[in-house]
Structure 1
Amino acid sequence: MTVFDSLDVRLGPGDGPVAFGGSLGGLTAGELLAAYRRGLFPLPAADVYASAYNEAVYGDAVEAGEVALLPGDADPYALAWWSPDPRPVIAPDGVRLGSRLARRLRNRCSWWTSADRAFGQVLAACAGGRQPAWITEELAAALLRLHELGAAHSGEVWDGEELIGGVFGVAVGPVLSLDSMFHRRPDAARVAVADLGARFGAAGGRLLDAQWDGPHVRSLGAEPMARSRYLAELSGGGGAGVLDGAPLPAARLGRAG
């Protein structure tokens, strides 16, 4: 049993939170994975002011029953659950590098890539300096636990021994939901997405979920998918096997692109 058992995501708003609350004794890895399995992802409030803002903006919709209020033992407006409709998705082998970046990778680029080699570092880099600060300590702890369980993955881009870009997300069956990315060199985050997508596809994955639509994810190759179809993909059976995390030259992605 989870706090999401009575929630029908299909009936929730496509352009706002589907639900608030649900943290029973703190956000756990099990609760987080149950949410992703239902097509939800979390957006915790950074502080009490952000929580108060959520209540001010969405409180009437909660009172009207348009947005669900999940059982919990904390301030419900401190934790929002989203399931956008439509959902931006990318085929694992469909991440666009662009001709300029592909050419640069081919021409003696020293960058190399890996997967699940530095999950904690990628998570910390994605959390650092972001406003709003949605990757809270509680959420980070749950994500680290999911990584230990093999459900959360990271893709890393290196220049020598320096981590210059990365992405992380949660895998559910054939879908990898990408939560956040970062870069310390131009285009390193794009390379991280392309590399992790290639590894996920090679392991049997079928879909990358970019979560939030916008010009940047569209430039990566994302296309809108109706939430009903996305939920069907999640529950369609099958899934990815173990990702190959071995170090590989980033130049290979330029040749593929």
Structure 2
Amino acid sequence: MSRCPGWEALDVRDAAPDGPVAFSADLSPASLLAAYRAGVYPFPAADEYTSALNEVVFADQDRQGRIRLVGEESADPYAVSWWSPDPRPVLPVSATHLSRSLARRLRNRLAWSTSLDRRFERVVRECRAARVPQWLTEELIASLIRLHDLGHAHSVEVWEDGELVGGVFGVRVGSVFSMDSMFFHRSGASKVAVTDLAARFAQAGGELLDAQRDSPHVRSLGCVLVPREQYVRHLRRIARDNPPMPTATLPARRLAQPTESH
């Protein structure tokens, strides 16, 4: 397998558009943050079988140098695949809005509130509970919590009468916020979380929310597809000393603007 000394030296422009671009078992906070800055995010194998399957399926691409091994040799690099899809689904913060029906519910019935970084680990674990396979491994969660402690990873929470009913979390790189996962226990709560994140991020100089993987759900949020090269160029040119996002607990009703569209 072709080896790359670190994420800063990885060039994903010629990598496969719909498969892993690298393997590395290093999920340390430093490695994780460097990967996000390179436009790459992790997808740990849920078990040893999946790790072994990665090696079998991608062996030819490994030998051809189309997939890189990042960092020093580790016990099982195939335990974590790293992805950078092309095209990339992104949501400009200025274009983020709720559907008319959800905005109407917020104005008329739902007394929800939102917060930032109030329950980061709880949001991560709620996201994990609903995922199959469980790519949010304990090692990855520990690194994400450390990045949160360092001010790089954040969560938005949606509350109903003191109960956590939805949320989203991810990693900030300058004016890009890469959303790792979201969850909801009430219909519409994850969409409110994303819209609230966009509003707070915009106030802190943010420009794009990165949805990582394309799907009908992220399309329903308003995501558009951009070429991977354009996304990576954006990451490389942005400043990394943006101001912090506002943390106050706020009424979700403020997100329900009269001009919302479907």
Q: What band does the TM-score fall into relative to the shorter chain?
A: over 0.9
Deviation per residue, 1:5-34 (Å, 9 max, x gap):
4321112111100001252xxx21111000
The residue matched to 1:74 in structure 2 has which SS?
Answer: coil
Cα deviation digits, residues 218-251 of structure 1 (max 9, x gap): 1100000111110111111235311111111111
Could you tell me how far apart the structure 2 residues matched to 1:96 and 1:228 are? 26
Of residues 3, 7, 10, the one that matches 1:4 is: 7
Q: Is the 8 A contact 1:3 1:22 kept in 2?
A: no
One-letter amino acid of the counterpart of residue 72, structure 1: E
Name the counterpart of 1:246.
248
Report 1:98-247 matches (<5 A): 98-239=99-240, 240-247=242-249
Superposed displacement of residue 184, structure 1: 0.5
More displaced stretch, 14-23 vs 200-209: 14-23
Q: Displacement, 1:129?
A: 3.7
2-structure distance, mates of 1:102, 1:189: 13
Secondary structure of residue in 1 paired with 2:256: helix
- Structure 1 partner of 2:47: 47
Identical columns (%): 53
TM-score if structure 1 supplies the norm length?
Answer: 0.95
Counterpart Cα distance in 2 of 1:144 and 1:252 = 29
Query: Residue 165 of structure 1 contacts residue 184 of structure 1 at CA under 8 Å; is this kept in 2?
Result: yes
Give the C-alpha shift of residue 157 in structure 1.
0.2
> Is the 8 Å Cα contact of residues 25 and 76 (structure 2) preserved in structure 1?
no
Q: Offset of 1:72 from its aligned partner?
A: 3.0
Unaligned segments of structure 1, at least 5 residues:
none
1:212 positional shift = 0.2
* Number of equivalenced pairs: 254
Check the 8 A contact 1:106/1:255 in 2, yes or no.
no
Deviations 1:28-51 (A, max 9, x none): 111100000000000000110111
Q: Matched residues in 2 for 1:6 and 1:202: separation?
A: 32
How has the CA–CA distance of structure 1 residues 235 and 55 changed in structure 2, closer, same or farther, with 3 Å as cutoff?
A: same
Code of the aligned partner of 2:156:
G
Q: Give per-residue Cα distances to partners, 1:95-145, cap 9 Å, x unaligned.
A: 242111011111142100011111011011011141110000000000000
2 CA distance for matches of 1:98 and 1:114? 21
1:60 maps to: 60
Partner of 1:28: 28
Rounded to whole Å, the distance in 2 between the matches of 1:88 and 1:78 is: 25
Q: Distance in 2 between matches of 1:237 and 1:129?
A: 34
Question: Could you list the per-position Cα deviations for residues 202-223 of structure 1 after superposition, in whole angstroms to 9, with x for gaps in the alignment?
Answer: 1100111000011111110000
Question: How far off its partner does 1:53 sit?
Answer: 1.6
Of residues 212-221 and 93-102 in structure 1, the stretch that sits farther from structure 2 once superposed is 93-102
What stretches of structure 1 move > 3 A for 4+ residues in a row? none
Displacement of 1:76: 1.1
SS state at 1:235 partner: helix
Unaligned runs of 5+ in 2: none
Take 1:184 and 1:123, find their aligned partners in 2: how far apart are those partners?
Answer: 14
Letter matched to residue 47 of structure 2: D
Distance between the aligned counterparts of 2:157 and 2:207, measured in 1? 20
